[in-house]
Amino acid sequence: MQRINPPSANQLDLIPNFCKGSGILSLAFTMELVAIVLTLGGGTTGEAALDRLLLISMYLQWISLWSAAAMCWARRWLRYARPGVVFFVCWGMLTLVVMVIADIAYRVSVYLSWDFVLPTEARLEFVLRHTMVAAIVALLLLRYFWVRNQWTMQVQAEGEARYQALNARIRPHFLFNSLNSLAALIQVRPDDAEMMVEDLSDLFRASLEKRGQVAPLVEEIGLCHAYLRIEKLRLGEDRLRVEWDVPEEVLDWPVPKLVVQPLIENAVHHGVSKLAAGGRIRIAAREIFDRLVIEVTNPMSPEDGEPSRGNRVAVDNIAQRLNLIYGEGARLEMGRDMRLEGGVFRARLVLPRETKEQAPDQ
C-alpha cells in the first residue's frame, strides 16, 4: 500500500493562518480601514458620519471575525485537500458568511426599526447585493494569496537547493586530510584507524542528511567531538587541546547543522596546526537577551596576518547559510583579539531561536 505523506507547510499556508491572534488582528485592522474609506466616500459629516462609521465598522468586524473563525475551523479539514479545492472551498465559505451576516443585519434593522440604517431595497436585493460584492472581493483576495503562496514556495525551493549546494561544499579539504591520516594509521594503529572511520561516517552522514536545516545544539556538539577526535589522531593529543564551556540549559537550542564544526575546523587548520607547540581551542556558548552566542577561539602566531582564502571560503559559506535560514536575524563575527597574550582569533555566532519560516505571521 502506498503511503501518502501530509502536504508541506507551504500548502497549508495557501491562506493566512487565522487561528493565530496576529492574523485576526491584521484582518480586523484591514476591515477598519475599509470602514473608514466607505464612511469618507458616503459624503456625510459631523455626527452622522460618526454614526455611519460605527455601524459600518460593527458590520465589517462581524464579517471579519466570523470569516476568520470559519477559515480557522476549515484549516484542519483542508490539510489533505488539493490547492484548487482549498481555494474554492474558502471562497464559498467567505461568500456564505457574508450572506448570512447581511441577512441578520437586515432583520435586526427591521426588528429595531432603525430607520437611519434600514436600506430602501428589499431584503433579498440587499442580501444578494452584499453577497455579490463579497464574492468578487473574496475571489480577488484569495487569488492574491494564491499568487503569493506560489511565489513563496518558489523562493523557498530555490533557497533549499542553494542551501544544499552550500552544505555539500563545506569540507573537501578536510576529507583529503583525514583520508591521508587514515592511510597512515591503518598499518601502525588499526584501532585508531577504525575509530576514525566511524567518526568520518558520522560527519558525512550529517553533511548529506536532508532532515531539516536546524538541529539541537547537542547534536552539533556531538559532530564537533567526532571531528576533534580525528584531528587529535592526526596532530596528536599534546598539540591539540580543547576546552568546552557550554551550559546544559542551551543544549536544546536549535542551530543550523554543521555551522559550529567548520569554525572549529578553521581554528585547527589556521591556528593550532601552524604552531609547533600546538595550542588550546575554546568553545563557549551562552544565551544572552534571547540569542544564542557561540564563540570559538584559537591561538595565533604573532606573525599571522589576515585569514587565508580557505578560511574566507568557509566563513562566506556559513554567512550565506545563516542568511537563508534566519535572514538578518543572525550574524557571524570574526577577528583577532589582542587583549590576550599572543593574541587569539575569535569567531562569534549570534543566533535567534526562530528561523524565517517560524517567524510569527505578519
pLDDT at 151 over 80: no
Using DSSP, how many helices (H) and how many strands (E) does the chain show? 10, 7
**Whether residue 74 sits in one domain with residue 117:** yes
28-53 tens-digit pLDDT:
888 888 888 877 876 667 777 787 78
Cα-based distances in Å from 346 to 136, 238, 289, 330:
59, 22, 21, 17
Domain holding 252, by residue range, is 169-352
Residue 206 resides in a domain: yes
Q: Do residues 304 and 318 both lie within one domain?
A: yes
Tell me the percentage of the chain whose pLDDT exceeds 70.
74
Give the pLDDT band of residue 297 (cuts 50, 70, 90).
very high
Higher pLDDT, 12 or 197: 197
Q: What is the mean pLDDT of residues 324-331?
A: 83
Please indicate, yes or no, whether residues 157 and 185 belong to a single structural domain of this protein. no
User: 158 is written with which cell numbers?
Assistant: 530555490
Q: Does residue 311 belong to any structural domain of this protein? A: yes
- 304-338 in b/e form (b: 16+ CB < 10 A) is beebeeebeebbebbeebbbbbbeebbebebeeee
Whether residue 345 sits in one domain with residue 208: yes
| Calpha distance 202→206 (Å, rounded) | 6
Burial of 275 (0-12, 13-18, 19+ CB in 10 A): middle
Same domain, 213 and 154: no
What pLDDT does residue 343 have? 73
Identify the band that residue 218 occupies on the pLDDT scale cut at 50, 70 and 90.
very high
Where is 293: in which H helix or E strand?
A: strand 291-299
Instruction: Give 210's contacts (C-beta < 8 A, 6+ positions apart).
Output: 164
In a domain, 361, yes or no: no
Last residue of a domain, one of 164, 198, 231: 164
Report yes or no: 354 and 299 within 8 Å, Cβ to Cβ: no
Most confident segment among 39-43, 219-223, 347-351: 347-351
Instruction: Check: pTM over 0.75? Answer yes or no.
Output: no
Q: Which residues contact 55 (CB under 8 A, 6 or more apart)?
A: 117
Assigned domain for 2 exists: no
Does residue 317 belong to any structural domain of this protein?
yes
Q: What is the mean pLDDT of residues 199-218?
A: 72
The count of domains in the chain is 2
How far is the C-alpha of 354 from the C-alpha of 175, rounded, in Å?
Answer: 32
HSE-CB of 177 using CA atoms within 13 angstroms? 15
| Segment 263-278 mean pLDDT | 86
Looking at the structure, tell me whether residues 53 and 186 fall in a common domain. Answer: no
> For position 358, what pLDDT does the model report?
58
Q: Categorize the per-residue pLDDT at 244 as very low, low, confident or very high, splitting at 50, 70 and 90.
A: very high
Kindly state the average pLDDT of the residues 67-84: 78
Question: pLDDT grade, residue 5 (50/70/90)?
Answer: very low
User: Who wins on pLDDT, 41 or 313?
Assistant: 41
**Residue that terminates a domain, selected from 164, 184, 206:** 164
pLDDT band at 362 (very low <50, low <70, confident <90, very high): very low
In which band, very low, low, confident or very high, does the pLDDT at 143 lie, cut at 50, 70 and 90?
A: confident
Do residue 202 and residue 241 come from a single domain?
yes
Predicted confidence band at 162 (pLDDT cuts at 50, 70, 90)? low
Question: Do 335 and 257 sit in the same domain of this protein?
Answer: yes
Residues 147 and 186 in one domain: no
